């Protein structure tokens, strides 16, 4: 199936006569601009299946990026527990390292691990989140086996705007947001600035199983320790408006976070700490067609009392990354819009170990990429065909030494990877009003991380000969959207089928002395996504359901940690009462078919989480009171064969990752002032 489909795609792309033979070609009504800085993508217009989450007003709530992404069809989020804890996103069953995450088009996946911790990315600083499921625009790279997520920060809108908010809540949670944007004087210059502080003690109660899952008698109610954090997020942007609507935008951001690292529930760690400092600047010019960025990130992990992480640890790592791209687009004839996008990027990583200074790995990766894309519009824009080929070339250098293998140190190893990621998207505006059909096919990859290649931590040893994971993704679906129809401000119905096969998975295999990664096996994901959105002037309902059948090809077992069924629904509204606006919301999130091990001997019961909120608006003031996990779902019954639990059903804490409990019911209140 896979070679045949790829041959078909390459055949289409390579056929010079194919496009010329089409009839009624004309240039589509799209502007030539960088996707990273482009307007909000309209799901009915673009070829990939994309969810656009409008997060304006996020400062009015206490909410994380992970919680917000969990609302989207096709996405799944796992957390180590509570606000501020490590959180990983999956799209269509992918691993978190297979999802490309960008902040205004700047890649946030660092070469060291490849995966992104959502807890160190902002939500309140954003305007919207674009979730490209299974297929990504070529400008967002080829390392997007699951898809891509672009976080778009607050855009300047011409008018002055000021806001401030203060939040308090359970587990010592506190938050302050400040925002100001203006276009003073002649209007040539415009600026915006955002500053946020968020912190929490994270000391929620949980059911501590005492490390004995089959003995409920020794369970006790415990309080999470060393789970506190403080973080500051700052963004600033300056825009120069030129003639003809041309823009130059320079934005900078910095992020600082200091957090405890709590360990598992039954092996409380009290002194381990992680601090993260990140600063970046990015530039968009020529209406976004030219982009450049630079970014530095420092992480410092300490475990001074040799707790469960193994010995006294004092690790500091630095990542420095930078890159630039330019998009050159030109209409060919009246039917084609051809774009060529060269890119250059580099990332350097170095780690220093204060306890064992001789083991300080480093790595450098230089990347060049070229994307050739065409947009072909047929039948008066009714049919849009977008073939594209992106070729990424990487040169990676890193250490050869491995103390765990007792091998001598030598010169750095070099490796080269040239990875094409061709893709084809089709959008057909059907004769039925507002109904579009879409289909996509693409090949994606994940490069081994520096850790995969060069880890030298004694018990973890990298493999420099790993090959990239590769996947072939395709999907097909319908989307019906109508805006401003009678009493309905918006109606959207979407349903699609997707399939993805990923080969050469990079998995960690324990050995006698150490664990190392290998390319092993493959998985196939098949699934359905559906979404519904109904909105009137005063109320809105959004709901989605995802079915995912993700299995290992060799054993036919479900991949652990990826629910078969996930659903989300949210109902919200606001009504005037004199000069006061009264509103609220209700949310429900459901998951089922979640397995805890690759042999599928542990299946967790369905999980349902409810949340409610009540809101009052008076002039510029808004007060929101919300309760998360309303029914205080904190533990569940799990079958454990031949255990001493009643009927072999053992009660344990609800967890995304084994040993890391999730918090129970929590309340938050937020007061916001907006001008």
Interaction site with other proteins (CB under 8 A): 209-215, 217-218, 263-264, 266-268, 306, 308-313, 355-356, 403, 405-407, 457-461, 463, 507-516, 518, 520-521, 552, 554-555, 557, 560, 596-599, 601-602, 640-644, 648, 652, 657-660
Cα distance between residue 288 and residue 192, in whole Å: 18
> Smallest distance, Å, CB 272 to other proteins?
11
**Is 77 in contact with 71 (CB distance < 8 Å)?**
no
> Smallest distance, Å, CB 400 to other proteins?
13
**Is 422 in contact with 436 (CB distance < 8 Å)?**
no
- Provide the terminal-to-terminal Cα distance of the chain, rounded to the nearest Å: 57
CB under 8 Å to 673, separation ≥6 — which residues? 163, 164, 165, 620, 621, 622
- Nearer Cβ to other proteins (264/530): 264
- Nearer Cβ to other proteins (130/503): 503
Strands 523-535 and 328-332: unpaired
- Nearer Cβ to other proteins (74/209): 209
Q: Which of 20, 51, 19 is nearest to 386 (CA)?
A: 19
Cα distance between residue 41 and residue 385, in whole Å: 16
> Smallest distance, Å, CB 515 to other proteins?
5
- Nearer Cβ to other proteins (459/488): 459
- Nearer Cβ to other proteins (382/403): 403
> Smallest distance, Å, CB 653 to other proteins?
10
> Smallest distance, Å, CB 13 to other proteins?
31
Cα distance between residue 130 and residue 658, in whole Å: 30
- Nearer Cβ to other proteins (126/453): 453
- Nearer Cβ to other proteins (286/639): 639
**Is 499 in contact with 477 (CB distance < 8 Å)?**
no
> Smallest distance, Å, CB 227 to other proteins?
16
What size, in residues, is the chain? 675
- Nearer Cβ to other proteins (135/213): 213
- The burial class, CB within 10 Å (0-12 / 13-18 / 19+), for 357 is exposed
Q: 3-state SS string over 259-302?
A: EECCCCCCCCCCCCEEEEEEEEEEEEECCCCEEEEEEEEEEEEE
What is the separation of C-alpha 127 from the centre of its chain, rounded to a whole number of angstroms?
A: 15
- Nearer Cβ to other proteins (40/555): 555
Q: What is the DSSP letter of 71?
A: T
620: left (phi over 0), alpha (psi -120 to 50) or beta: alpha
Q: Under DSSP, is residue 644 helix (H, G, I), strand (E, B) or coil?
A: coil
- Nearer Cβ to other proteins (239/653): 653
**Is 629 in contact with 610 (CB distance < 8 Å)?**
yes
> Smallest distance, Å, CB 72 to other proteins?
26
> Smallest distance, Å, CB 522 to other proteins?
9
- Nearer Cβ to other proteins (152/457): 457
- Nearer Cβ to other proteins (409/554): 554
CB under 8 Å to 334, separation ≥6 — which residues? 25, 26, 27
Helix (H) or strand (E) holding 450: helix 450-454
Tokens 């420095």: give the residue: 320
Cα distance between residue 625 and residue 612, in whole Å: 8
> Smallest distance, Å, CB 520 to other proteins?
5
> Smallest distance, Å, CB 406 to other proteins?
5
Q: Which of 524, 548, 479 is nearest to 48 (CA)?
A: 479
Cα distance between residue 640 and residue 644, in whole Å: 9
């Amino acid at each position: 199936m896979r070679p045949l489909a790829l041959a078909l795609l390459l055949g289409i792309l390579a056929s010079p006569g194919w496009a010329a033979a089409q009839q009624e070609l004309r240039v589509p009504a799209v502007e030539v601009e960088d996707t990273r800085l482009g307007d909000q993508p309209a799901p009915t217009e673009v070829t990939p299946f994309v969810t656009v989450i409008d997060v304006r007003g996020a400062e009015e709530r206490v909410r994380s990026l992970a919680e917000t992404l969990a609302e989207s069809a096709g996405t799944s989020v796992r957390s180590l527990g509570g606000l501020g804890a490590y959180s990983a996103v999956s799209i269509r069953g992918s691993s978190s390292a297979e999802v490309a995450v960008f902040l205004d088009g700047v890649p946030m996946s660092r070469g060291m691990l490849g995966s992104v911790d959502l807890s160190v990315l902002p939500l309140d600083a954003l305007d919207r989140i674009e979730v490209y499921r299974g297929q990504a625009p070529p400008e967002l790279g080829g390392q997007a086996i699951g898809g891509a997520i672009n976080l778009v920060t607050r855009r300047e809108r011409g008018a002055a705007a000021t806001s401030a908010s203060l939040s308090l809540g359970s587990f010592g949670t506190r938050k302050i947001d400040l925002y100001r944007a203006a276009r003073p004087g002649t209007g040539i210059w415009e600026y915006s600035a955002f500053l946020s502080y968020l912190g929490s003690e994270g000391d929620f109660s949980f059911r501590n199983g005492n490390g004995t899952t089959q003995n409920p008698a020794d369970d006790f109610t415990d309080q999470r320790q060393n789970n506190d954090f403080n973080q500051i997020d700052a963004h600033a942007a300056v825009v120069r408006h030129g003639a003809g609507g041309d823009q130059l935008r320079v934005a900078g951001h910095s992020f600082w976070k200091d957090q405890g690292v709590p360990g598992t529930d039954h092996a409380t760690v009290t002194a381990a700490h992680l601090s993260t400092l990140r600063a970046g600047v990015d530039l968009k010019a020529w209406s976004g067609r030219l982009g450049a960025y630079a970014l530095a990130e420092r992480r410092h992990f300490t475990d001074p009392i040799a707790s469960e992480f193994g010995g006294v640890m004092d690790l500091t790592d630095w990542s420095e990354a930078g890159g630039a791209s330019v998009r050159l687009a030109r209409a060919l004839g009246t039917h084609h819009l051809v774009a060529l996008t060269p890119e250059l990027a580099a990332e350097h990583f170095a780690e220093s170990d204060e306890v064992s200074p001789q083991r300080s790995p480093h790595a450098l990766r230089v990347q060049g990429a070229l994307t050739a894309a065409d947009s072909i519009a047929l039948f008066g824009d009714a049919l849009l065909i977008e073939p594209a080929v992106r070729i990424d070339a990487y040169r990676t250098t890193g250490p050869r030494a491995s103390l765990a293998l007792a091998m001598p140190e030598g010169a750095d190893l070099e490796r080269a990877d040239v990875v094409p990621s061709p893709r084809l998207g089709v959008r057909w505006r059907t004769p039925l009003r507002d109904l579009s059909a879409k289909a996509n096919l693409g090949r994606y990859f994940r490069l081994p991380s520096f850790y995969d290649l060069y880890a030298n931590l004694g018990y973890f040893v990298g493999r420099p000969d790993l090959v990239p994971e590769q996947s072939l993704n395709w999907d097909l679906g319908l989307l019906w959207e109508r805006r401003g129809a009678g009493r309905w401000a918006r109606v959207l119905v979407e349903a699609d089928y997707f399939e993805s096969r990923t080969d050469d998975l990079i998995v960690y295999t324990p050995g006698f002395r150490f664990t190392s990664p290998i390319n092993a096996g493959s998985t196939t994901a098949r699934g359905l996504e559906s979404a519904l959105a109904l909105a009137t002037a005063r109320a809105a309902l959004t709901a989605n359901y995802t079915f995912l059948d993700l299995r290992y090809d060799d054993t036919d077992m479900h991949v652990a940690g990826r629910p078969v069924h996930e659903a989300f629904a949210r109902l919200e509204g606001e009504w005037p009462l004199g000069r006061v606006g009264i509103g609220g919301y209700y949310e429900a999130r459901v998951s089922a078919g979640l397995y805890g091990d690759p042999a599928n001997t542990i299946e967790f019961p369905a999980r349902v989480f409810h949340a409610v909120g009540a809101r009052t608006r008076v002039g510029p003031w808004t007060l929101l009171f919300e309760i998360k996990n309303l029914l205080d779902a904190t533990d569940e019954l799990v079958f454990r064969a031949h255990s001493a639990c009643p009927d072999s059903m053992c009660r344990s804490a609800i967890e995304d990752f084994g040993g890391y409990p999730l918090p129970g019911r929590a309340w938050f209140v937020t007061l916001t002032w907006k001008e």
